[in-house]
A = this chain, B = another copy of it.
Amino acid sequence: MAVTIRDVAKAAGVSISTVSRALAAPEQVAEATRVHVQETARAMGYRPNRAARGLITGRTGSIGLVVPDLENPFFGSVCKGVQARARAAGYAVFIADTDEDPMVEAEVVRSLAKQVDGVILCSVRSTDADVEHFAAESPIVLVNRKLGDIPSITFDNGGGLRSVMAHLVALGHRKIAYAAGPVTSWSNSERTAAFRAFAFESPDLDLVELGNFPPFFSGGIQAGDLAIASGATAVVSFNDLVAVGLIDRLRQRGLSAPHDISVAGFDNVPVSTLVWPNLTTVDFPRVQMGRASVDLLLDTVLERAGAGRVVPDIPVELIVRQSTGVAPVRAIERPDDRPILQTQLSGT
């Protein structure tokens, strides 16, 4: 059926060793033979049997990618990056969707680990202990999570949060809320921590935490009412979906962004530009993240150079669109001895 190295050898009149070398280690074989063999192989449409090769080399030429939810555009982008870079490096990509379930995750990692050279775990939902267990069993790279000295790729969540805050403060907002995401989310912890740090550094601002909310549209609906009740003039949402839900809830309540409340998100998913008002958000270059994770994994696996090297956070970028604007004047109307001005409010 399929053409094997033996067929090529026979056709080219050389031994199979020579064919193997002509294709895999061209410098070890004489110019003439090499050319002849290579042409014969190409003419016959020979492709090495990966199973046989893997059997002897111990390497499979493929990597695994585990994501919580393929339908989530965030992970779709990461996949795209991973897949592109892996293919460029001659690796194939096994994909596994865990449906956000840690149990499935464990099972999937275990079964995948045996048939790949390494695994990229994206936004893994398992406990620290489990993740360390995975790492002990096979080469892994963590995406969107940091744990011990397991190689990982992360975004600069803190930097992103600070840019949004600076943006909102510059627009005159003094009471700003953070609508938190799931407690189990590492990204959320990072953002919350940065938010608190920011609050600590800016005692003149009035910063409130809301939530936690599920990271979907529905979470934004919940967050909307709380945000209105809080009296904040601006809300930073855990992600874009929450921001969209929040804005929708404002609309339902007869308010609007950014007129009444400014709303910003995280991720810059495609939806950000489809809704009205377009979302001010922190862009996370996800495709780049996918690429970086492959590079890191390949470095670790192949140990070409710095295994275990530390990769800096991927920088993120604030994208200002229409969902944020100057603080509304009404927020300044408040009783008595502290008159009508925003500048005054915040004490500046």
Determine if A314 is an interface residue (Cβ-Cβ < 8 Å). no
A271 to B271, CA, bound (A): 7
Determine if A315 is an interface residue (Cβ-Cβ < 8 Å). no
Contact among B52, B76, B95, B241 with A72 in the assembled complex (CB-CB below 8 Å):
B76
- Known contacts A76-B76, A274-B271; decide if A92 and B71 are in contact (CB<8 Å): no
Contact (Cβ within 8 A) B71 A80:
yes
| A323 shortest CB reach to chain B, Å | 13
Contact among B51, B76, B87, B92 with A54 in the assembled complex (CB-CB below 8 Å):
B51
Query: For residues 253 through 285 of chain A, which have their beta carbon under 8 Å from a beta carbon of chain B?
Result: 270-271, 273-276
Contact among B60, B65, B274 with A274 in the assembled complex (CB-CB below 8 Å):
B274
Q: Quick one: copies of this chain in the complex?
A: 2
| A210 shortest CB reach to chain B, Å | 21
Contact among B70, B92, B108, B251 with A87 in the assembled complex (CB-CB below 8 Å):
B108
Contact (Cβ within 8 A) A83 B96:
yes
Determine if A47 is an interface residue (Cβ-Cβ < 8 Å). yes
A308 to B51, CA, bound (A): 28
A75 to B76, CA, bound (A): 9
24 residue pairs from A and B, CB less than 8 Å apart? A2-B114, A50-B51, A51-B51, A51-B52, A51-B115, A55-B55, A65-B95, A70-B77, A70-B79, A71-B80, A75-B76, A76-B76, A79-B95, A83-B97, A87-B108, A92-B112, A94-B94, A94-B95, A95-B95, A244-B274, A251-B276, A275-B275, A275-B276, A276-B276
